[in-house]
Amino acid sequence: MKTVKAGLIGFGTIGAGVVRILDSSAEVIRQRLGASVQITKIADLDIKTDRGIKVDPGILTTNADEVLEDPEIEIVIELIGGYEPARSFTLKAIQNGKHVVTANKALLAKHGEEIFSAADEKGVCIGFEAAVGGAIPIIRSIREAFVANQFSAIEGIVNGTANYILSKMSDENCDFQTALKEAQEKGYAEADPTFDVEGIDSAHKIAILTRLAYGTPVGADEMTIQGISSITPEDIDCAREFGYRVKLLAISKYDGKSLDVRVHPTMIPENHPMANVNGVLNAIRVCDDLMEENVLVGHGAGALPTGSAVVGDVVEIVRNSMAGTGTRVPSQSFHTAKIKPIPLKKIEEIESEYFLRFRVKDVPGVLAKITGILGNHSISIASVIQRGRGYGEKGVPLIMTSHLSNEKNVRDALSEIDRLDVVCEPSNLIRVEN
């Protein structure tokens, strides 16, 4: 039976998960693949720490070139994350004719053009199922299952850390810092949680899904990104009062002319298919012309779920190579020549429903002033709640939801409202997806 040799760069949590799966599932892989996959070299700066798995010390190296230049290695698994040296290692692997499997969403979101073009030129595959949604087979679904479908929206909870924090804030009525601290203690959040909680990780993932779904490059730096660090227990409480949950959503919509891609905290109704996706789970909702909607839910992070997606890519590459079909499926879903820019809407141009929170003096005429300004900016109010007295100097919370409105109109109205002397603190908006 054929044995295919792979090299691993990055022996962290996911790398160790991949090694574990290739060992513990070796027999089932052989039965399904008709070949074996063997990791013959592992490169990491730290080759001393015990990962709790049995590895021949002779295959460990601190020099990535020993993987990249080994003529026997057909597949390089890049799991170091970040932009550099991941980019250089990936390009070098491609130049050396090796297929690459990666979980690195930051790399693909930023350097996708360069990496996919280099891979095309060399005729090698880039597998990146693990880059979005961990074990959820969203890349394969878009690339291979939904091939006749014209997508109108992809939206998802694609960051488990942020979802864990928001779920905890909602379940226990605690503030962001308390929930973050617990996420860090449980190992879900990094010591520096910026990428996860400020929406950057989600932006990388939605950039990748946008490329695959619509055949267009979009950079995380081109979209509006707002994280969850400013969400308060009061926001979550008010959302509940209106029948909503707050989730960090990555959204990518296409109306046939332009794209609307953004990441921000979003209120979704309690009966929305993603409203009860809690904790570290991820969910991705795909809307198109043929199946209307499809929601995929699963573990978006962790050694074994993400490792399983990596191993799935490795096996697919080996299958293609054994069948002599090389890069059977275009890495970017569309053929490279068909990847073309689609104009991106500015955030001011989008239409959304809004949840608006004001802090106002509880005196006659306040509601009339605020609704008057909203009306002047063509914003139609869907519902209003004013909470009772007893808030002192801070003013009473006045909460409204709007019908579909233009973002620029909403922003202009809020800045005018914030200048009123009856308004006690800057108002707050959260977009609503119904």
Residues found near ligand HSE in the complex (CB under 6 A): 159-161, 196, 201, 300-301
Contact 316, 127 (CB under 8 A): yes
Residue with Cβ nearer ligand HSE (228 or 344): 228
Residue with Cβ nearer ligand HSE (263 or 414): 263
Residue with Cβ nearer ligand HSE (67 or 301): 301
Determine the residue type at 305. Answer: P
Q: How far is the CB of 364 from ligand HSE (least distance, A)?
A: 48
Q: How far is the CB of 217 from ligand HSE (least distance, A)?
A: 21
Q: How far is the CB of 198 from ligand HSE (least distance, A)?
A: 12
Q: How far is the CB of 407 from ligand HSE (least distance, A)?
A: 27
Residue with Cβ nearer ligand HSE (159 or 226): 159
329 backbone dihedrals φ, ψ, rounded to 5°:
-110, 130
Q: Active-site residue among 205, 247, 253, 345?
A: 205
Q: How far is the CB of 43 from ligand HSE (least distance, A)?
A: 21
248 CB neighbour count, 10 Å cutoff: 27
Known catalytic residue at 186: no
d(CA 374, CA 378): 7
Burial 126-162 (b: 16+ CB within 10 A, else e): bbbbbbbbbbbbbbbbbbeebeebebbbbbbbbbbbb
d(CA 260, CA 255): 8
Contacts from 165-173 at CB under 8 Å and sequence distance 24+? 165/189, 165/197, 165/228, 166/228, 166/231, 166/236, 166/246, 166/247, 166/248, 166/265, 167/278, 167/279, 169/231, 169/233, 169/236, 170/236, 170/240, 170/245, 170/246, 171/278, 173/233, 173/236, 173/237
Residue with Cβ nearer ligand HSE (46 or 190): 190
Could you tell me whether strands 224-225 and 351-360 are parallel, antiparallel, or unpaired per DSSP bridges? unpaired
Helices 233-241 and 160-172: angle between axes, nearest 10 degrees: 70
340 backbone dihedrals φ, ψ, rounded to 5°:
-140, 150
Q: How far is the CB of 196 from ligand HSE (least distance, A)?
A: 5
Could you tell me the maximum CA-CA distance found in the chain, to the nearest angstrom? 83
Q: How far is the CB of 257 from ligand HSE (least distance, A)?
A: 31
Residue with Cβ nearer ligand HSE (79 or 430): 79
Q: How far is residue 20 from each of residues 41, 256, 390, measured CA to CA in Å?
A: 14, 45, 58
Residue with Cβ nearer ligand HSE (134 or 397): 134
Q: How many CA atoms lie within 13 A of 156 on its CB side?
A: 34
Catalytic residue positions?
205
